[in-house]
Amino acid sequence: MNRLIDGKKISAAVVEQLALDTREFIATSGVTPGLAVVLVGEDPASQVYVRNKVKQATAAGFNSTEHRLSADTTQADLNALVEQLNNDPSVHGILVQLPLPAQLSEPDIIRLIAPHKDVDGFHPLNVGALASGGADLIPCTPMGCMIMLEQTLGDLSGKHAVVVGRSNIVGKPMAALLLQANCTVTIVHSRTQDIEAICREADILVAAVGRPEMIKGSWVKPGATVIDVGINAVEKEGKRRLVGDVDFSEAVDVAGAISPVPGGVGPMTIACLMKNTLTAARQQMSV
């Protein structure tokens, strides 16, 4: 029987436990974790993401602040805000919503956020820690994928995992986490030859390439576990719909377990952002 991996249900359990852990942390430390979210411009998708993140932060028991800046914000002004948040002891986690408007440098902002407040896990120091197996603040989407996989499969040791995509945000950290879980890991990308054959070898297939329904059912090994990270807006039958990087209608008949889009990885990403915020607060209070 095919199994849908319900990201909404799993993320709700994560946030429920997180709320309990947060109450205990507040009771013992007298400090409420603080998350600052910065949104530049009016991108509709980013506004939805920010609204959901703030909602979950409140549910987890955090203090959450929003900083909304105009689309024509200068690099100097954004830098000044980030520095202010870096120096604010009531802020334990900083998230600058990406993508940024064209005049702003995303790499510069990522490097400017204090590593111990980098709840996205994108700062080069945190990336290096992940590569060496010692990261505390892990990129949220890969962390969410790992929780889903472990709840679905248990021990991942010895399984062949194929990651489709090599982005710094998902593909590379996903591969690092799977390697730490003792998987045999292959990354495929735009220059890989015979991608379909490699994907068919996967016990675990993680799609994070940003191309709607690229991975067909014939690419999936029967019984494999498929995690679809992609969120793509397409027109279908005259309506705007969200689809993943996997052709769900085909893959669902082949996979042993598969995450849907929407309702799969998306909710897990936000839940793991909250986990990182509590982790950051604990670390800062212990220091």
Positions annotated as catalytic residues are 53, 97, 120
Query: What are the strands of the beta sheet with 160-164, ordered from one edge?
Result: 3-4, 257-258, 225-228, 204-207, 160-164, 184-188
* DSSP notation for 118-173: BTT--SHHHHHHHHTT--SS--HHHHHHHHHHHHHHS--TT-EEEEE---TTTHHH
Q: How far apart are the first and last CA of the chain?
A: 49
Q: How many other CB atoms sit within 10 Å of the CB of residue 210?
A: 15
227 is annotated as contributing to ligand binding: no
Tokens describing residue 96? 């600058």
> Is 166 among the annotated ligand-binding positions?
yes
Helix (H) or strand (E) holding 51: helix 44-60
Contact between 255 and 215 under an 8 Å Cβ cutoff? The reply is no
Q: Count helices and strands (H / E) in the chain.
A: 10, 11
Q: What is the CA radius of gyration of the chain?
A: 19
Q: State whether the Cα torsion 121-106-192-230 is positive or negative.
A: positive
Contact 234, 240 (CB under 8 A): yes
- Known binding site for NADP(+): residues? 165-167, 231
- Known binding site: residues? 165-167, 231
